[in-house]
Structure 1
Amino acid sequence: MSPKSDSYDCVVLGGGPAGCTAAGLVAKEGFSTLLVERERMPRHHVGESLMPETYWTFEKLGVLDKLTASRCAKKVGVQFVNSTGHESKPFFFRNHYDHASSETWHVERPEFDQMLFDNATELGAECHDQTRVLEVLFDGDDAATARATGVRLRTADGERTITSRVVIDATGQSSLIANRFALKEMNGHLRKAAIWRHYRGAKRDESGGGVKTLIMHTQDEKCWFWYIPQSNDIVSVGVVGDNDYLLKGRGAPNDVLNQEIANCPVLGGYLEGSEALDDLAVAKEFSYTTKQAAGAGWVLVGDAWGFIDPVYSSGVYFAMKSADMASECVVDALQSGDLSAERLGAWAPTFAEGTKWVRKLVNSFYSGNFRVGKFVQEYPHHAGPLTDLLVGKMFSPDMPALFADLDPWLEKMASAPRTGDEPIMALG
């Protein structure tokens, strides 16, 4: 099926969490909105563990009841395992903030993305999958001055040119607009890769009223694993390490994954007796930001705006929160008739300031010196702000003070001997 019109107030590119959120919230305010996704829905995608603060965008979208009624596993906390196999005390989010928003879900992305896609339709957006964006159309060739005027699409019926007042780029790491204008700024220190698959019948710990995300280091600390229990007795398991270490000269990805599992005995215990599913996948996880979040008639959201390492499960939250904030600016711009970069991108400085703290926490994780249990013992007043970051409260005014102490402390710990029994991360 092709778009019903040749002109819309807003065209959103990409049917992932960012695109569906932006399309739904703009359409909800009465503006004609077209959402296009190149793949057939539901689509396969990694990124199953959510941050609790995603709750508030779910509430705006009206999908909390759907998630609560779904088969998705309820996520109640997080636990960390260091290179010696020492397991931290489980950290339960509700102990920090006793509210419904303190618990979230481990989702199956095909079903989750389909739910958001369908919800965008319910909110008034016109949504089409299997529709490829051939080109974003601009008046001008410079990111600072070029005005987006629409898109050229390939549908089942052939090519179509669609005009629009605003184009929202939610194309993920394809980053159509950012790549066109060379806006990406790569983080050379976080050139990671991930290999993952799902397992049936692996260990599930549901103490605390639900499942937890586990983060496990390998014995040589060159990699870490995520372990995300899902519904139907399925667990998502993925290894993350330097791109060159994981993907160059070590054989097939399946062999590399098994080698790293053998290098993580605690994980091997969790997987004992389980069945590996035939869905192995590989991705390069290169972290980056963009120099410009918006221009005349266009906005970047989600991974099209920037990508960060998945260690804290921030991907879906960043996607939806950026789209949530950007959609408010898009609605304001459409209502006022001012489609300038300043108006459409007014959300970006606040969002960038918040994500900066999560990026710093990621860098702390990869420093190898992040013994948070010890840090909290020495600075107990920072336990709350650290917890805020783990649940997604990245706009807290306590962040500057936290890192004013954490950064020099990490430098000190770099030269301090390890006892071998300290958890790399623990907040309880």
Structure 2
Amino acid sequence: MSSSIFGISAEYDVIVIGGGPAGATTAGLLAKRGHRVLVLDRERFPRYHVGESLIPAFMRPMEEMGLTERMDERGFERKYGGSLVWGNNQVPWKFGFLKGKYPYAFHTRRADLDAMILDRARELGAHIIEDATVKEPIEENGRVVGVRYALRGMDGVREVRAGLVVDASGQARVLSRRFTDVKWHEELRNVAVWTYYDNCERLEGDEYTNILIEGLDEGWFWAIPIDKGTISVGYVTRSATAGEGGQSLEDLFHSEVGRTTKLKHMLRNGRQSAGFRTARDWSYHSDRFYGDGWVLVGDSAAFVDPLFSTGVALASLAGSTLAQIVDQIIKHPEIETKALDRYATAYSGFFDEIREFVERFYDRTKYKEFYHSLAQEMIDPEHERKPADDFVTLISGLSGNHPMFHIGLDDLIADVSQPEITKS
């Protein structure tokens, strides 16, 4: 059955599988550049998703999308820093985001945030089909040239073709699962169990909007203020040891809450307002980020432990970078392989650096000065700034020095644009 009966073309410049932050940002910024883009998502937005706390780096791609003011208008709560009970003797400490263009991020219900970004992609000209499950890629001569998809509640499978297919399907990994192998990071093979509480107290004073991260001997809690009285609360611990002795994850959650200090105080008058959700083994890395006619972005490529709330920012930042690269590939198809190789190398390296920092941060036997120095070692080896400032810069995602943010293609374009010299 032809897709055209729904007012959707059978051919596009780019197909994006998945309408979350990575896919919507990629699609919106490509459409903004004048390209024909189709987004296929298996859900109907707004839809639930975890990951409600953001970091300032997220504001960069949102500025490109024209959404920074809209986030305030929607009433998302600004986040100005974080509070930790972490390290030697579990001493409380805190940080504030540095002054600059965006000295804040947001806490938000992801259903509302993701719907806003996808709606903006639609406004910018991307074609969006929801309730559309991608069944398989279409391959010709070893190249992916489109996908087959089914619409919920309708018979038949439809085909749509494009010059490039972007897998932004998150942990569903529609193409990634088919074309790549995944490396799991053994040091970060964790399980999370989370729920929501109403009528909670907030941190006091200048910590009022902070995310709380409270470490214990065997794991750690997050507490994210979603609005004035509701917080998201989750517990993360090792998958290998969770539930030992037959204890359920829910019982483990409640028993560990009782061992906290700041979190227990926040919840003392609260009431649980939702059931529990769980997720396991969150940290992984695909062995390939692209192939002939396809490329990965966001969680379909890799994911790092949620300790510093980097997931949404990394996904949307990568979407912004990929949109710039694909824009040039459409104009200069001959550079596709080399351009995507530069993207993959930089993107993979970016994940590896964040993973290394998170793994070392998980050593809770140190003092905060150690964690500050660790950040300085990674992003400021010349010691041009204070270690505490380097720490905030790193976890804000604003170091800006990584090759991920500076992928140049001018030399590749120049090579293919040189006129042929004919011999007389």
How high is the TM-score relative to the length of structure 1?
0.85
Q: Give the Cα separation in 2 of the matches to 1:187 and 1:394.
A: 24
Say which SS state the counterpart of residue 393 (structure 1) adopts.
coil
CA shift, 1:377, in A, is 8.2
Change (3 A) 1:369 1:349: farther
Distance 1:179 1:121 in 2: 28
- The reply to whether residue 46 of structure 1 matches residue 42 of structure 2 is no
Rounded to whole Å, the distance in 1 between the matches of 2:248 and 2:371 is: 40
- 3-state SS, counterpart of residue 347 of structure 1: helix
Deviation at 1:249, TM superposition (A): 5.0
Structure 1 partner of 2:140: 139
From 22, 28, 33, the equivalent of 2:37 is: 33
Q: Which residue does 2:398 correspond to in 1? A: 393
User: Is the Cα contact below 8 Å between 1:13 and 1:133 reproduced in 2?
Assistant: yes
Q: Secondary structure at the match of 1:338?
A: helix
2:80 to 73, 76, 79: 76
- What secondary structure is seen at the aligned counterpart in 2 of 1:244? coil
Q: Distance in 2 between matches of 1:184 and 1:71?
A: 38
Shift of 1:375: 5.9
Does 2:333 align with 1:337? yes
Give the CA deviation at 1:100: 3.5
CA distance in 2, matches of 1:249, 1:160: 49
> How far apart, in 2, do the equivalents of 1:355 and 1:307 lie?
8
Which secondary structure does the structure 1 equivalent of 2:274 belong to?
coil
Query: Is contact 2:373–2:387 with CA below 8 Å preserved after alignment?
Result: no
Runs of 5+ consecutive residues of structure 1 not aligned to the other structure = 141-145, 398-428
Q: Is 2:313 the counterpart of 1:317?
A: yes
Could you tell me how far apart the structure 1 residues matched to 2:117 and 2:275 are?
A: 23
Which residue of structure 1 aligns with residue 112 of structure 2? 111
In structure 2, the CA distance between the partners of 1:229 and 1:181, relative to structure 1 (3 Å rule), is same
Q: Aligned-pair distance for 1:204?
A: 1.2
1:2 Cα deviation after fit: 4.7
Corresponding residue SS for 1:211 = coil
1:248–1:136 CA distance, 2 compared to 1 (3 A): farther
Following superposition of structure 1 onto structure 2, how do residues 288-299 of structure 1 map, counting pairs within 5 Å? 288-299=284-295
**Worse-matched range after superposition: 149-158 or 247-256:** 247-256
Distance in 2 (alpha carbons) for counterparts of 1:170 and 1:370: 37
**Which residue in 2 is equivalent to 1:189?**
187
The 3-state SS of whatever aligns with 2:190 is strand
> How has the CA–CA distance of structure 1 residues 217 and 151 changed in structure 2, closer, same or farther, with 3 Å as cutoff?
same
Per-residue CA distance 1:234-272 (angstroms, 9 max, x = gap): 101101111132256544332221122123233211110
Equivalent residue letter for 2:35: F
Letter paired with 2:111 = P
Match of 2:351 among 347, 355, 371: 355
Following the alignment from structure 2 to structure 1, what is the Cα–Cα distance between the partners of residues 187 and 7?
A: 43
Residues 1:387 and 1:278: Cα distance change in structure 2 (over 3 Å): closer
Paired with 1:155 and 1:283, the residues of 2 have a C-alpha distance of 27
Count of paired positions:
387
1:219-258 matches, cutoff 5 A: 221-247=217-243, 249-258=245-254
Partner of 2:277: 281
Alignment match, 1:422: none
Deviation at 1:390, TM superposition (A): 1.2
Q: Hey, what does 2:62 align to over in structure 1?
A: 58
Amino acid at match of 2:238: D
RMSD over aligned Cα, in angstroms? 2.3
Distance 1:393 1:63 in 2: 19
Identify the match of residue 12 of structure 2 among 8, 11, 35: 8
Q: Alpha-carbon deviations, 1:15-34, whole Å to 9, x = none?
A: 11101111101111111111
- Whether 1:269 aligns to 2:265 is yes
Query: What percent identity do the matched residue pairs reach?
Result: 29
Q: Whole-Å Cα distance in 2 between the matches of residues 241 and 382 of structure 1?
A: 28
Cα shift readout 1:201-243 (whole Å, capped 9, x = no counterpart):
112136338500111012xx11101111112421011011111
- Which segment drifts farther, 41-50 or 340-349? 340-349
TM-fit CA distance, 1:341:
2.8
The one-letter code matched in structure 1 to 2:57 is E
- What residue number does 1:130 align with? 131
1:188: how far off? 1.7
Question: Which residue type is aligned with residue 190 of structure 1?
Answer: L
Which residue of the other structure, out of 146, 169, 178, is the alignment partner of 1:150? 146
